[in-house]
Amino acid sequence: MSAAADQVSYTIVPANEAPWADLQQVVGSCASAGRCQCQRYKLARGESFARLGPEELSHRLRAETDPGRPDAPSTTGLLAYAGTEPVGWCALEPRTAYPGLLRVAKVPWAGRTENKADDGVWAVTCFVTRAGFRRRGVAGALARAAVEHARRRGAHALEGYPIVTTAVISEELHVGLVGMFEAAGFRQVSTPTLRRAVMRIDF
């Protein structure tokens, strides 16, 4: 899959089709992403980044993405390339795969009647753009590719939980922005807090 933004064409592949080193090159370029290793919503009750440590967090991400195995039955995200350079990552899989989301009181559940056990609803939870490639449409290209990725794998809907305003610290932007999701075909279905929206596309 490829998408053009700001006159740059990005090639986007499932993470299992990319080398582990490429994924770490992107994730490691952002301090918060490097600490988290995309495990924020994957932690079980009582677990924490401090208790698990960076080695275990990295091990979990590698097991989840199954890099370098194009025949793997599943993976947990997409990697974007500009030419041969890995430049971006987004995490997405069935919403039920995120224990942290299921425990959250407001986002994404406030004001909605949703079956938390419905694994046909997928969620895109995180975007990381490599330092030096930001503000070039990488995350937007990933959001568009996420729609097709989820659709092809049998999802009946895909959700995201972006920031409503850009007046936030940069680390919060890992969830994306409303406009980026709108451009990918999502519609806003709720605003559970002053800062966060629920965006959804149904297939």
From CA 128, how far away is CA 152, in angstroms rounded? 23
Q: What are the residue boundaries of the structural domains of the chain, listed by start?
A: 2-202
Q: At 68, list the tokens.
A: 């370098």
Architecture (CATH level 2) of domain 2-202: 3-Layer(aba) Sandwich (3.40)
For 153-187, how does the pLDDT look when each residue is reduced to its tens digit (9 = 90+)? Answer: 999 999 999 988 765 555 556 899 999 999 999 99
* DSSP code at position 44: P
The pLDDT of residue 166 is 60
Task: Report pLDDT for 91.
Answer: 97
| Percentage with pLDDT > 90 across the chain | 76
Q: What's the pLDDT score for residue 165?
A: 72
In the block, residue with structure tokens 């709720």? 190
User: For residue range 90-113, what is the model confidence (pLDDT) as tens digits?
Assistant: 999 999 999 999 998 789 999 899
pLDDT at 72 over 60: yes
Residue 80 near residue 88, CB atoms below 8 Å = yes
Strand order in the sheet with 2-5: 2-5, 8-14, 77-82, 85-94, 121-129, 157-160, 198-202, 187-190
